[in-house]
Amino acid sequence: MSYARKSHPSGFSLLEAMIVGVLIAVLAGVSVPQIRQSVSAYSLTASANLVATELNAGRTLAISRNWLYDMDPNTTNHTIQIVDPGNASNSPRSLKYLESGITFSSVPAAGSEIRFYSGGHARGGTLVLQNENGDTISVLVGASGRVEVQN
C-alpha cells in the first residue's frame, strides 16, 4: 500500500508575514508613547515620595536628637539631604537623588529653608517637583511639621 504525498505549502507567505509586521509596528507606535508617559508619571510620584520620606526622617531626627535639621534641596544636581545647619560636615542622612528626568521647579528661598525643630514643629515650605512632560507634584511642610504630598 502506498500513500500519495499531498502537496501543501508549509509556513507563511510573504504577504502574511508583512501583514503581521505592519500590525506589530502599528501596535508599538500606539503603545510606546503611553508607556513613556506612565513611566514619567511613576518617576514623579516616586521622587515626591522620596522627598516626603526624607522630610519625615528629618523631623524624626530633630525630635529624637533634640536638635534642629534643615532640608537641603540641590536644584542643580537634583538631590536632597537632611543637614545639620550648625555643622555642614555632619549630615545625619545620606544624599538622595531624584528619579531620572525629575527636577525641582520650585524650592524655598535661601534663608527660609525647611527646618525642623526639636519639638517637632517646623519652618515650613513647599517643594515642587516636575517631570519632562511638565507634570508637577508639590510636597508641603506645615508649621506643625506635618508633611503632605499634593498632586
pLDDT per residue as tens digits for the range 95-124: 999 999 999 999 999 888 999 999 999 999
DSSP state of 146: -
Per DSSP, which regions of 1-84 are E strands? 69-74, 79-83
Predicted model pTM = 0.80
Q: Three-state DSSP class for 98?
A: coil
Name the architecture of domain 14-150. 3-Layer(bab) Sandwich (3.55)
Residues 130/105, Cβ–Cβ less than 8 Å: yes
Q: Output the pLDDT for position 146.
A: 96
How high is the mean pLDDT of the chain?
91
Other beta carbons less than 10 A from residue 106's beta carbon: 15
Mean pLDDT within 29-41: 85
Mean pLDDT within 66-94: 92
Q: Three-state DSSP class for 88?
A: coil
Q: Report whether pLDDT(10) > 90.
A: no
